[in-house]
């Protein structure tokens, strides 16, 4: 090879360059292989447990099994809240390729409008754990199930699942006492234990369902399953069944409740009946009510807003939350206090000219009978519901003693054990007025308090509670719905109300019997012909006030400004089995014309001939 060609191409040099490059490439290949081998060794040896666990979690999933909600029974074993089988539509987002598109197809197939589609989109996001189905629709019809089954290949992640839904056989009659269950909302999710509600789509919203939610819910179960890469179940590995919720047995008498609700139908009214011996609530009625079953399924928002806007306020629990001036129903309590404080005697008599005047005051506080009742003592004053005697008695007692004594009967306090949302009412006193109105207490306000008017407000539940304590002659019982817990001690139970002489109880209860059976009793027509003796007291609660000399035409007053009619009492008077309080809002007539006859119907419905015969047999010598 010539010198010229050797200068252009040197095979030896090229060979050396090639060998150098080959060795360098081999070095890098070996270096990479060493890195891969070391990484593999690290993952396989040192990180084995970690990745084995991750792989197991990808292959094995744990699914929640929701518990069966506890049932609710009345005192006779009648079913008040049941669980019925139903079919619902669920969506697992991880299994759906395009969630908005899938939901749009569901709405198209089921002929749902745009508002419903938006609602389903929102529900699809309300889930708590990965691969946990979100509830879209419930109570599917057979036609809807068929449509979804035919088009299932177009709806990935969508399943039709069987479940148990709450059912309330008595409907509106027990709506406020039991409450209802509804979908778990975002607000609910913020306060609940998500683990405890895994797989559960409903929660107690109001009433007993909410108060005893933890006991009714039960404990969630689980099943461990093997799944493929798409999350489909291949086989069941193990399972633990859920623990059903606790069944509740109540003091409520479903037949009495339904009868009372029907008796109050068409009126804004409330009734609470209590068994004096136990404090068990026999009936807790608020009229009008609503059908709680509509809250369980897919409640139309329009229907819900109509319920809220209804001027009759069917969603408002008048029995536990309605606050009303008690009117003359509190006169037996004030009379007992007067005897106990020794400011009057059982034979104290005053003259009633139709009004009462404070010393050095020209204002006249009028009796409901403008010409008065003449000579009256305490017993006749309760029988005829004389105001003048109680103006005089309230003046002698003073607001401080009235306040303290009435609180002993539970006024101004929530004494019920398990009535969800119960309000405290209002027992006015000097300190309250100073704080709220920034004014001193005036003597005239004491007189108004003495006849259950003015600032004094009570709920039907409170008034029934005080009536039960009176029927027990001062022995306290705490009102409650649940029968299961009757034997549990109650360390906060108020002490019994004691009096100087037992004859005081006989005197006051005898006066209340005169109201129902006496010659001048305000409720004598309601008590006529009863097979048992009733102790009761009627009352009228003013909605708006009049000046002392002003009179009014009842027919000219708008319906919503008319007086409320009240009644409280118990029966039989000598061996009380039922104590109740009843109010009818804006009634066409007072407590004697409206409330007392309704109460008599309730007494008769509960004190059947069979129950009275059994009572006589139990007390036979």
CATH number assigned to the domain comprising residue 473: 3.40.710.10
Q: Which residues of the chain are modeled with pLDDT < 50?
A: 546-548
Together in a domain, 140 and 260: no
> 322 has which bridge partners?
none
pTM: 0.83
Residue 154 maps to a domain? yes
The per-residue pLDDT for 563 is 86
Are residues 204 and 179 in contact, defined by beta-carbon separation less than 8 angstroms? yes
Q: Within a domain: residue 27?
A: no
Q: What phi and psi values does residue 540 have, to the nearest 5 degrees?
A: -130, 130
| Same domain for 541 and 393 | yes
Domain boundary among 217, 249, 281: 249
Are both 211 and 297 inside the same structural domain?
Answer: no
Both 265 and 245 in one domain: the answer is no
- Any domain includes 532: yes
Examine residue 162 and state whether it is found in any structural domain, yes or no.
yes
Q: Assess whether 312 and 340 both reside in one domain.
A: yes
The residue among 195, 217, 249 that closes a domain is: 249
pLDDT tens digits for range 292-320? 988 886 555 666 778 888 899 999 999 99
Q: How many domains does the chain have?
A: 2
Q: Are residues 242 and 274 in the same domain?
A: no
Strands 72-73 and 248-249: what pairing?
parallel
Catalytic residue among 286, 298, 328, 448: 328
Burial 337-369 (b: 16+ CB within 10 A, else e): bbbbbebbebebebebebbbebeeeeeebbbbe
Co-location of 588 and 516 in the same domain? yes
Give a yes or no: residue 20 inside a domain: no
Domain of 556, in residue numbers: 255-618
pLDDT tens across 491-531, in order? 888 999 999 999 999 999 999 999 999 999 999 999 999 99
Q: Give a yes or no: residue 95 inside a domain.
A: yes
Q: What is the CATH number of the domain that holds 103?
A: 3.90.1310.10
313: phi then psi, degrees, rounded to nearest 5: 55, 60
Residue 511 a catalytic site member: no
Per DSSP, the three-state class of 493 is: coil
In a domain, 607, yes or no: yes
Same domain, yes or no, for 132 and 168? Answer: yes
- What would the two tokens of residue 154 be? 């177009």
Residue with token string 């419903």:
116
Task: Tell whether 499 and 430 lie within a shared domain.
Answer: yes
Q: What is the reported pLDDT for 102? A: 83
Residue 33 lies in a domain: no
Using CA of residue 549, residue 551, residue 557, residue 559, what is the dihedral sign? positive
What phi and psi, each to the nearest 5 degrees, are found at residue 592? Answer: -70, -35
Do 232 and 310 fall within a single domain? no
Let me know whether 370 and 394 are in one domain: yes
- What pLDDT does 320 receive? 96
Question: How far is it, in rounded angstroms, from Cα 37 to Cα 32?
Answer: 9
Domain C-terminal end among 200, 218, 249: 249
Domain check: are 203 and 262 in the same one? no
């Amino acid at each position: 090879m010539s010198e010229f060609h050797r200068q252009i191409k040197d095979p030896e040099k090229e060979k050396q360059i090639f060998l150098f490059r080959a060795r360098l490439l081999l070095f890098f290949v070996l270096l990479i292989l060493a890195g891969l081998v070391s990484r593999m060794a690290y993952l396989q040896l040192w990180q084995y447990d970690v990745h084995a666990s991750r792989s197991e979690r990808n292959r094995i999933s744990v699914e929640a099994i929701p518990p069966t909600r506890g049932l609710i029974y009345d005192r006779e074993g009648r079913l008040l809240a049941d669980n019925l089988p139903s079919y619902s539509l669920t969506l697992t987002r991880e299994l759906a390729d395009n969630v908005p598109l899938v939901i749009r197809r569901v709405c198209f197939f089921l002929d749902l409008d745009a508002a419903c589609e938006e609602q389903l989109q929102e529900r699809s996001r309300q889930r708590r754990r990965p691969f946990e189905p979100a509830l879209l629709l419930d109570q599917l019809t057979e036609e809807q199930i068929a449509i979804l089954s035919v088009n299932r290949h177009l709806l990935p992640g969508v399943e039709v699942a069987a479940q148990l839904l709450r059912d309330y056989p008595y409907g509106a009659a027990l709506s406020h006492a039991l409450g209802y269950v509804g979908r778990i909302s975002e607000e609910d999710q913020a306060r609940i234990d998500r683990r405890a509600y895994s797989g559960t789509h409903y929660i107690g919203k109001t009433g007993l369902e909410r108060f005893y939610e933890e006991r009714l819910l039960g404990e969630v179960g689980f099943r461990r399953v093997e799944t493929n890469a798409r999350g489909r179940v291949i086989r069941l590995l193990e399972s633990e069944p859920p623990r059903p919720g606790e069944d509740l047995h109540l003091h409520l008498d479903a037949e009495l409740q339904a009868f009372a609700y029907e008796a109050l139908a068409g009126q804004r009214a409330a009734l609470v009946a209590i068994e004096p011996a136990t404090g068990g609530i026999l009936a807790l009625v608020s009229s009008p009510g609503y059908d709680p079953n509509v809250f369980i399924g897919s409640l139309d928002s329009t229907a819900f807003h109509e319920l809220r806007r209804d001027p009759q306020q069917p969603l408002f629990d008048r029995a536990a939350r309605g606050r009303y001036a008690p009117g003359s129903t509190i006169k037996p309590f004030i009379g007992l206090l007067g005897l106990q404080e020794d400011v009057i005697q059982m034979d104290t008599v005053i003259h009633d000219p139709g009004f009462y005047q404070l010393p050095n005051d020209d204002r006249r506080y009028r009796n409901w009978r403008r010409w008065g009742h003449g000579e009256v003592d305490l017993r006749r004053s309760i029988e005829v519901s004389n105001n003048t005697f109680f103006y005089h008695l309230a003046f002698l007692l003073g607001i401080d003693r009235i306040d303290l004594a009435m609180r002993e009967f539970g006024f101004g306090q929530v004494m019920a054990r398990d009535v969800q949302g119960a309000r405290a009412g209002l027992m006015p006193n000097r300190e309250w007025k100073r704080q709220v109105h920034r004014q001193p207490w005036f003597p005239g306000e004491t007189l108004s308090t003495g006849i259950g008017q003015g600032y004094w407000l009570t709920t039907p539940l409170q008034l029934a509670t005080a009536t039960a304590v009176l029927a027990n002659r001062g022995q306290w019982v705490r009102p409650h719905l649940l029968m299961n817990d009757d034997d549990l001690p109650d360390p906060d139970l108020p002490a019994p109300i004691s009096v100087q002489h037992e004859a005081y109880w006989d005197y006051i209860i005898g006066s209340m019997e005169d109201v129902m059976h006496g010659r001048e009793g305000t409720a004598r027509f309601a008590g006529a012909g009863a097979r048992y003796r009733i102790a009761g007291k009627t009352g009228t609660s003013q909605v708006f006030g009049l000046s002392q000399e002003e009179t009014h035409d009842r027919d000219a007053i708008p319906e919503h400004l008319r007086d409320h009619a009240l009644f409280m009492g118990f029966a039989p008077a000598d061996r009380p089995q039922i104590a109740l309080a009843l109010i009818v809002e804006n009634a066409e007539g007072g407590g004697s014309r409206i409330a007392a006859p309704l109460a008599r119907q309730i007494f008769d419905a509960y004190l059947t001939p069979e129950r009275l015969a059994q009572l006589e047999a139990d007390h036979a010598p």
